[in-house]
């Protein structure tokens, strides 16, 4: 498979979960992949998983300086970028009455500010005709308990995408949102679901998902590959929900 042969892809948060699955598929389809993340060991492990077509840049997406450094690195190493996937994100499930200012700022800093300034910094390096993929969420359309702040960050990302789809139209740069539903990744543990309880959690979620199961990272990766490749060459400004139909209920 060579849908991305000769292209350069940048995936923020590409060291785990949906980001890693997407980066691996991009590389398997011929792309040179640059991944980012905050944990060096996780980045090193991810590069080994993806293979020789991957390199890693460590940094915090909430810090605009990281994005400037990343853009300079990509420019110096590869000249231009064909695919930018703003995947890095964080979710803390807390009732609104209990949300602290630090928790609020952390989620907006990583999810919304990180996405905005990431695209701002990389846009001069993007090739005309490039693809920008922003990670949204089912939570921006469907009310989920304890997700008010997270939903707000993902609603902002949808607004960014609609604006950028028009702002970048003269350069034929496509901007789309990929919105996962519940997906079987490491984030479940970060949300407080122990490994030994994952099967029970998945079974409990099945009733809320028309397809009756959690999504798998590779399924989201294949959707990202569609948005990254010429298969979606006439697609911009959409929110592609990959949620097993959960938004319908």
Question: Does residue 75 register a pLDDT over 70?
Answer: yes
Instruction: Summarize the confidence of residues 225-244 as an average pLDDT.
Output: 98
Residue 3 in any domain: the answer is no
pLDDT for the residue numbered 204: 78
- Asked, for residue 94, whether it belongs to a domain, the answer is yes
According to the model, what pLDDT value does residue 172 have? 98
pLDDT at 189 over 80: no
Vertex 150: Cα angle to 16 and 133 (nearest 5): 55
Catalytic residue among 26, 108, 116, 150: 150
Query: Is 150 one of the annotated active-site residues of the chain?
Result: yes
Report yes or no on 56 lying in a domain.
yes
Query: What confidence score (pLDDT) does residue 1 get?
Result: 60
Q: Is the dihedral of CA 159, 114, 47, 45 positive or negative?
A: negative
Structural domain boundaries enclosing 46: 8-248
CA distance 153 to 14: 20
CB environment 201-211: b (16+ within 10 A), e (fewer): bbeebeeebee
Count of structural domains, the chain? 1
In a domain, 153, yes or no: yes
CA–centroid distance for 48 within its chain: 20
pLDDT grade, residue 206 (50/70/90)?
A: confident
| 176 — pLDDT class (breaks 50, 70, 90) | very high
pLDDT at 191: 55
111: in domain: yes
Q: Is the pLDDT of residue 193 over 80?
A: no
Does residue 1 lie within any of the structural domains? no
Tell me the backbone φ, ψ of residue 4, rounded to 5 degrees.
-120, 25
CA distance 245 to 180: 10
| pLDDT of residue 148 exceeding 60 | yes
What's the pLDDT at 192?
A: 59
Of the listed ranges 36-50, 184-198, 210-224, the least confidently predicted one is: 184-198
Q: Is the pLDDT of residue 162 over 70?
A: yes
Mean pLDDT of the chain: 95
In a domain, 119, yes or no: yes
pLDDT of residue 200: 74
pLDDT of residue 226: 98
Q: Average pLDDT in the 18-47 region?
A: 98
Q: Say which CATH number the domain at 59 has.
A: 3.40.50.720
Per-residue pLDDT at 65: 98
Both structure tokens of 222 = 């294949």
Query: What confidence tens digit (pLDDT) does each residue in 59-70 have?
Result: 999 999 999 999
* Residue 58 within a domain: yes
Q: Does the pLDDT of residue 190 top 60, yes or no? A: no
Q: Tell me the C-alpha distance between 145 and 151, whole Å.
A: 10
Residues 85-130: tens digit of each pLDDT: 999 999 999 999 999 999 999 999 999 999 999 999 999 999 999 9
């Amino acid at each position: 498979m060579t849908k991305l042969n000769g292209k350069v892809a940048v995936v923020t948060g590409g060291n785990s979960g949906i980001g890693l699955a997407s980066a691996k598929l991009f590389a398997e389809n011929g792309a040179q992949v640059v991944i980012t993340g905050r944990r060096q060991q996780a980045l090193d492990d991810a590069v080994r998983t993806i293979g020789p077509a991957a390199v890693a840049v460590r940094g915090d997406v909430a810090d605009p300086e990281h994005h400037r450094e990343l853009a300079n690195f990509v420019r110096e190493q590869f000249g231009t970028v064909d695919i930018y996937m703003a995947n890095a994100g964080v979710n803390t499930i807390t009732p609104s009455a209990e949300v602290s200012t630090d928790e609020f700022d952390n989620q907006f800093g990583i999810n919304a500010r990180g996405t905005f300034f990431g695209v701002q910094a990389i846009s001069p390096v993007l090739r005309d005709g490039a693809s920008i993929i922003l990670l949204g969420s089912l939570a921006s359309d469907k009310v989920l308990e304890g997700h008010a702040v997270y939903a707000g960050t993902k609603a902002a990302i949808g607004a960014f995408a609609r604006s950028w789809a028009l702002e970048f139209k003269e350069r034929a740069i496509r901007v789309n949102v990929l919105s996962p539903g519940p997906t079987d990744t490491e984030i479940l543990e970060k949300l407080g679901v122990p490994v030994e309880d994952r099967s029970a959690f998945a079974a409990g979620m099945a009733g809320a998902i028309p397809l009756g199961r959690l999504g798998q990272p590779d399924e989201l990766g294949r959707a990202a590959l569609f948005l990254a490749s010429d298969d979606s060459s006439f697609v911009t400004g959409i929110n592609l929900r990959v949620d097993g139909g959960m938004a319908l209920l």
